[in-house]
Amino acid sequence: PIREANVMSLVCPIGPERNLLDPQPESCHRVFLDTPVLCPRRFNALLELEGKGMPHVIIDMTYTLTEGCSARRLADRAISKKSLLRERLDQICKEAEAAILGDSVAFIVLTHRRAGEDRVPICSLLAAGALHQHLINAKLRARVALVVEAADAHEVHHFCCLLGFGVDAIFPYLCYLSLLRVRNCTLSMQTRVENFRHASEFSILKVMSKMGISCLQSYKGAQLFQAVGLGKEVLTKCFTGCKSVLNGVGFDAFAQDALEFHKIAYPPRGPLPPLVDEEVEELQDIGEYHFRSIHESEIHMNTPDVLYKLQEAARTNSAEGYKLFAHWQNKITEQTEIRGQLEFCLDECDPVPLEEVEPAAEIVKRFCTGAASLGSISNEAHQAMAIAMNRVGGRSNTGEGGEDPDRFSPMKEGQMKMGAAEWEIFEGDTSRSRIKQVASGRFGVTAEYLANADEIQIKLAQGAKPGEGGELPGYKVIGKIAETRKATPGVGLISPPPHHDMYSIEDVAQLIRDLKNANPAARISVKLVARVGIGVIASGVTKGKADHLTISGMSGGTGAAKWTSIKHCGLPWEIGVAETHQTLVLNGLRDRVTVQTDGQVRTGRDVVMAALLGAEEIAMTTAPLIALGCIMMRKCHLNTCPVGVATQDPELRKKFTGQPEHLINYLFMVAEDVREIMASLGCRRFTELIGRTDLLRPSAHLKEHWKTADLDFTDLLRPAWTLQSMAAETEGSMFCCVPQDHELAHVLDRQLVLRAAPALEDKSQVMVKDLAIKNIDRSVGGILSFEVTRRFGAQGLPDDTVHVKFKGPSGQSFGNFLAPGLTFELEGDANDYIGKGLSGGCLVVYKPGQAPFKGHEAILAGNAALYGATAGKSFMAGIAAERFAVRNSGATAVVEGVGDHGCEYMTRGLVVILGSTGANFAAGMSGGLAYLLDIDKTSLNMESILLEPVGAEDSKMLEDLVKDHARLTSSAKAQELLANWDKTAKRFTKVFPKEYKKALESMKSAPTEKKASDTQPIVQNGAKDLEDLRPNSVHEPQKKRGFHEYARKSMSYRPDKDRTMDWEEIYASQTKKSQQWHSWIQTQTARCMDCGTPTCHSPNQGGGGCPLGNRIPTWNQLVHEGDFKRALERLLDTNNFPEFTGTTCPAPCEEACVLGINESPVAIKSTELAIIEYGFSKGWIKPHPPQVRTRKRVCIIGSGPAGLAAAQQLNRAGHLVQVIERADRGGGLLMYGIPSMKLDKTGKVLRRLQLLKDEGIEFKYNCEVGKDVSMAELCTQNDAVILATGATQCRDMRSTEGRHLKNIVQAMDFLTATQKTNLDAESGQSHIRHSSSRKSPPYDLQGARVVVIGGGDTAVDCVATAVRLGARSVLQFSRRDEAPKQRPSHTPWPCWADTYRVDYAHSEVKALHGRDPREYLVATKGFKASAEDPSRVGAVIATQANADGAAVIEYPAELVVLAMGFTGPDKVVDPQGVLARDQNSNFKADYGEYVAENAPWKNLFACGDCRRGASLVVTAIAEGRDCAARIDSFLMGETSLPRAAPLAANPTFFQMPKKGDAQPGLVKRFQRKRRQNQDVSEAFERGLLVEPVLEEPEAESKASQAATSSMKIAVEERGAKVGMDEVAVSSGATTPKWLLAGFAGLAIANVALLGTVVALLR
């Protein structure tokens, strides 16, 4: 639609059609629409034709749930088995028929306008399709136009579906209404509507062009769609004749979906209260294009967990890591892919020993990487894949971007610097890609390129975007890429659609022959897209002599593809491979062609599935790129890949860390996985798997869900050998075993090679005269050019070394890829494709001497002459037909006239046309020059070109070319022009591409710019200093490259010494927001890249990522735009208390930030706190009580973060909530466990508690369950009770010698007493905030020495509290060693990094006392009494490991604080021990269900730290939110509260079953019948992993005791003698285990229908 808009149109007549065989004046009484997407003005104009003899009727596309509730109607419906939706469809058809026959209406308008709280909308495609088919059957369709006033049509695919199934025009009124809410838009409403329509129209044209259709009239009603998972009843009623696979859902499923959507729009209990206000409420982002882990989001193949686990396995060659990755990936496949709905028939197989199975080294040879071109990915990534695949014997693919000739030669042994990686190159290594792809773009396709191929792949179509060519943005077309592609640097490249040179199966067969001639030794492959009917196409291509077929699935493809390209295109490869295999066997062709598949193949299970369905080879691209470092940013098109994989930015390429070994490791682990499955299936050789669909069956779990219960895999799994072969009586082979006969033995080129032998041996001159040629002689010159290139490389032979003069009509592709030094002279005429891929040779064509016609008036060359030419010259003394010099990228041509579409997509070279030009000349021309004689401007496509007069230099060059033309062709036209050249020269016009001219001008200015840059100062300290030079705050920061342009700056602390003087928050005050503040926060959010797979917002198995699923990319974008209010709404939608997490959370989200891979992460925590505090300062955060109360009572025990989150969510749902707290103030841990300098009690905690009270939550303080009230009473008096008491049982050292001494206190007692004293002092005088105003603290530490035992956050808080209480010295003991400065291998990104850190308390102690307080490798052995007071502690006796073993050290201490973590909730709440507890003393309750086990009350739930163990505040909030949703569903039967746990989308929750355990099936999350319990085995110290602290000193290992030195070292004051710099997290390298849960496999049903969208809102 861009380059050939002149042959495309959306204009279409609608309305009653008359008899075509009897034309009358009334036949013209129709309405011509210029577009099928109507604006309000056009729609109203149609309705106003009522008075002009074109009446209309409006038919409602909704139904009410109360329709037909009489007993008779219900009985009729039960007998007919028709749902309300189906009944309404029948009514619509009857109403329309009556309107046509009775009222002679001209337009039928189907509308959603009546949709509302009491009326459910029907999918407009169902209604329109049913009516269209009904009117066709009634022979009434031609008498009426069908217009849809749709609320559910909002995407291009929706429009195309409606048009394709018979709709004449669409009025998407709800889309237009939604345009009112476009952010930061100052355009008028009319302009917005017109822009939307223009984009929609262009996209419809694009879809049509991909199908090869020019006019909307041909597309409308053509039903060019394929259905997947639709039932026969639906197809028959609504989409008669539509091709379908996998019989599936019927009308009942659509009715159920419609009701579910309707409930979302109109909750039965009314909407939840607004989070901020209705003005900024937004629809949920379900993650259709980017991964989102929250709520009911779209499931993606690439989740943060599988990404990092795949990379970890590949980098460390960990078989265990790969198995976990494969387990998670296969679970996701069960929910997303067709193969996931199938299972192996293991119970019907006889396993064989693993050692008898084909070795992995042979299996990996069947693997290849997909076609990722150099340009789409970096040189580093491209070469890494090539080297790895060549080492294992597999194949890498160049993609359609050519290949650097330097890579054709073997590499030298040694070290090679690539990006940030050092590669070890071995003797024999090569980075040559064995598969060379040839696409319609012909980028870099030269004779040398083809000669260096083992396999040549014709890209007939790409699975992820069929019908389109590749596209490379201009900023990626630089350096070697531009040179390799023969393009202009800086100018974007778009491949022509495939039909330019592969319009028919015959054209494909010709191209196969051309390429086989260009390299007789190479295997010729054709890449096809999976679709219904692909078997016939594959058979035709095989008969066309293809050696190899690649069946590409709809998944995968470039990350640079447009959204409209990658959605709703193609079918799963499982369908394509099965049909291809069956059809080839049926036609007796399977034995002569190898079948390969690609499309998100990741694990051994995927490979075996592909083989069983019929594939011999497997292509993988995404997974190998992930193994090399790709993180699925989905920003490939922006050239901003932060890991150097999909970018050409030299600075970003330096960040590439992949190694060929990483990919090799991965491939061998996949192969070993394949071997294990083969052994279990009883197959020893891989060939025994191919086509064995009898070893597959539908999974049992499909029957458990109403959407998958009717899926029918019969056709897919039909064994090919059961089909009766049409070609042979005997049973055919299931795999390729017979080579194709390409019939090259007797082609004309064999004579040419023999005659040119002297030239090939020693470059002697060879002249062949009057060689007869016929039009059956095709691809002449291909084999000779191959022999020249094979011997002499790209430079070939000297000009005119071999000169062959042919006489007669040549066949197709004359001069095919003609090499330098070869001159082909043709006296006659040439068929199509003459000079295809011309690579340096010379072509001369002229009419036969005896011909009576004039040469310049006759067509002497067929279509597509010089297609993809890269070098050489061509002189044609006649006219060339259509598509002359398309994609010319270097050849010089003189021709005496051309047909339509000349010089289309040309990027280099020179074309001189001495005659007329057809239409659409120079469409998409981006480089090279053309000179036209007597120009006709109407025939030019002016979009990309400029016209200039010919200058003196141009005139001289043109004269020389015309002289050569006259000399070589004896052209009368050339001689005539030369006779008066001065006059002739003025008749020429220079066609100059705009982009080419711009590039030339920039090249001229480049030296000046370089000279100016030389004066810049040289940075001496490398990349780190360069980073330091980047600004952290600028006015109006740019987001596209913000991550690279700006440095991180998080919210600053107050000076260390200053903040120890008070109990105020450590953060610098920001109550008044200046412009500087806004610039800073917008600059910091500009660093967020809005990742395609945002690892920050999804919790991963390694402790990184946000447990709440905060929409971090979304609110970063909104803050960057300055829209704080909407950012606040998005933040509060997932996080109830950002003011708590923004201050206390250790930010696991930042640990998982993509930027953290190679630089400082985004300041997420600072942004979160900035948003919430800005919201409070603006008064946006107000109490929002629920509008309706359910009268259900819920009691929550505990007012910590989990309890408060559950309370607010349940209160929002309308329940009566009471929170019981045993302390005198609410907040739990937030109030007394976290000191006020870390979390302001008055300004944050009490403020939030007051808001909750104002929303209707009741708080009851000083009430202890188990003492003041029993659990039984609460469960009886309330409809639900939640245990949210937290983990309050502290670890102790009760058996340690001296533990009885005074001043040895638990951390929580120490913190609680201090905080309570401070708060009591503030009561009634909150404006007084200085420590000097407070009463004496409970612990008098002035001048005292304090020892804190423990390494977590609580210990840090105790250190800071002791400092503020005046301690003389503070030491913190850690049993682990000092953590490394760099991220260690056992905690890879995006896990929580086990690295050296400095917390606020450590820097304070260092500022005051001159040293870091931490002592490492310390084990406490006992406590020594004070000499002054034997009842009090005086010292701590401990051992400290060092290089010589371990020494016993005595640490003086007047106060010892035990901060060693927690062992679960205390026993007060359950004194009789009724409730079940796990091994860590936590209450047992399944994750996601939260029902307390063994409880005599069915309404008792447990969540938060009391259930899972001590953890982060953010984790507690997430559990509270999720538990609230579960309880709301328990109380009301359904819930409108969001689940916080990303159950279905996150593989973290899929655990490997232990040996002997039955593997649970996938069950829908709300329909789980059986749940397997698995305890949380690792404790957390508020998020930082800690090692288990043993309560008894006797538990110390004997080895440690033996190593203890008997010498005791008395230390009076260690002070600054201990040299330690910064903080490290406590030990606990072990990854915590998560609870097992089985989650929903909502199966594939990729229905090509419009769902009734949530946009039908109140």
| Sign of the torsion formed by the C-alpha atoms of 46, 48, 53 and 58 | positive
| String of DSSP letters for 1312-1326 | HHHHHHHHHHHTT-T
At 688, the amino acid letter reads E
| String of DSSP letters for 1091-1140 | -SS-GGGS--TTS-S-TT---HHHHHHHHHHT-HHHHHHHHHTT-S-HHH
> What pLDDT, on a 0 to 100 scale, did the predictor assign at position 71?
61
d(CA 422, CA 435): 26
**Nearest to residue 783, comparing CAs of 805, 807, 812, 815?**
815
d(CA 1639, CA 1549): 9
**Complete edge-to-edge strand list for the sheet that includes strand 1345-1349:** 1304-1306, 1455-1458, 1345-1349, 1369-1373, 1414-1415
Tokens linked to 634: 């989905």
Q: What is the dihedral of CA 1229, 1233, 1238, 1241, to 10 degrees?
A: 60
Contacts of range 479-482, beta carbons closer than 8 Å, 24 or more positions apart:
479/648, 480/374, 480/379, 480/404, 481/374, 481/375, 481/401, 481/648
In this prediction the pTM is 0.89
Tokens linked to 49: 């034709």
Burial label, 844 (beta-carbon count in 10 A; 0-12, 13-18, 19+): buried
**Nearest to residue 1081, comparing CAs of 1125, 1051, 1106?**
1051
Per the CB < 8 A criterion, the answer to whether 1453 and 1427 are in contact is no
Tokens linked to 70: 């009489």
Residue 936: count other Cβ atoms within 10 Å of its Cβ: 12
Residues 6 or more apart whose CB falls under 8 angstroms from that of 1045 comprise: 1030, 1031, 1037, 1038
Q: Give 1087-1133 pLDDT, tens digit per residue.
A: 999 998 899 988 888 889 999 989 999 999 999 999 999 999 999 99
Specify whether the backbone of 1372 is left (phi greater than 0), alpha (psi in -120 to 50) or beta: beta
d(CA 538, CA 585): 11
> What pLDDT, on a 0 to 100 scale, did the predictor assign at position 464?
62
Q: What is the CA radius of gyration of the chain?
A: 38
| String of DSSP letters for 610-648 | HHHHT-SEEEESHHHHHHTT----S-GGGT--TTSSS--
d(CA 274, CA 277): 5
Tokens linked to 1305: 């206190």
Tokens linked to 13: 């007549």
**Complete edge-to-edge strand list for the sheet that includes strand 988-993:** 766-772, 802-807, 822-827, 839-846, 871-876, 889-895, 908-913, 929-933, 988-993, 945-949
Residue 83 DSSP code: -
Helix (H) or strand (E) holding 910: strand 908-913
Specify whether the backbone of 1633 is left (phi greater than 0), alpha (psi in -120 to 50) or beta: beta
Phi (first) and psi of residue 1403, to 5 degrees: -70, -30
Residue 1144 DSSP code: H
Residue 1397 DSSP code: -
Burial label, 1535 (beta-carbon count in 10 A; 0-12, 13-18, 19+): buried
Q: Which residue shows structure tokens 């993809």?
A: 868
Per the CB < 8 A criterion, the answer to whether 1151 and 1392 are in contact is yes
Strand partners, 435: 397, 455
Helix (H) or strand (E) holding 1201: helix 1201-1212
Tokens linked to 1398: 């400095």
d(CA 410, CA 1440): 56
**Nearest to residue 1195, comparing CAs of 1247, 1263, 1248?**
1263
Helix (H) or strand (E) holding 1022: helix 1022-1029
Q: Give 230-277 pLDDT, tens digit per residue.
A: 999 999 999 999 988 888 999 999 999 999 889 888 888 888 999 998
d(CA 589, CA 1189): 70
**Nearest to residue 1159, comparing CAs of 1053, 1048, 1246?**
1048
d(CA 606, CA 603): 5
**Local mean pLDDT, 10-residue blocks, the chain (1658 residues):** 76 87 83 93 92 91 75 58 86 95 94 93 96 95 95 93 95 93 88 94 89 89 91 93 89 91 87 90 81 78 90 95 93 90 94 96 96 90 96 94 92 93 94 93 92 94 67 83 87 74 83 96 94 92 95 76 75 94 93 94 96 96 94 87 92 94 97 97 96 94 87 91 67 86 93 95 93 95 96 94 96 96 96 96 94 89 94 96 94 96 93 95 93 94 92 94 96 94 95 90 62 35 52 92 92 90 86 85 94 89 89 94 94 94 93 92 94 94 93 96 97 96 93 93 94 97 92 95 93 92 94 92 55 56 94 94 94 92 89 91 94 93 94 94 83 95 89 90 90 93 93 93 94 89 49 38 30 29 29 36 35 33 30 26 29 29
> What pLDDT, on a 0 to 100 scale, did the predictor assign at position 150?
95
> What pLDDT, on a 0 to 100 scale, did the predictor assign at position 1642?
25
Residues 6 or more apart whose CB falls under 8 angstroms from that of 730 comprise: none
Helix (H) or strand (E) holding 671: helix 660-681
| String of DSSP letters for 972-1011 | HHHHHHHHTHHHHHTTEEEEEEHHHHHHHHHHHHHHHHHH
Residue 1487 DSSP code: T
End-to-end CA distance of the chain: 39
Q: How far is CA 2 from CA 885, 942, 1391, in A?
A: 19, 12, 46
Q: Which residue shows structure tokens 């919790």?
A: 1099
Enumerate the H helices of 337-363 as residue ranges. Answer: 360-363
**Nearest to residue 804, comparing CAs of 817, 795, 814, 794?**
814
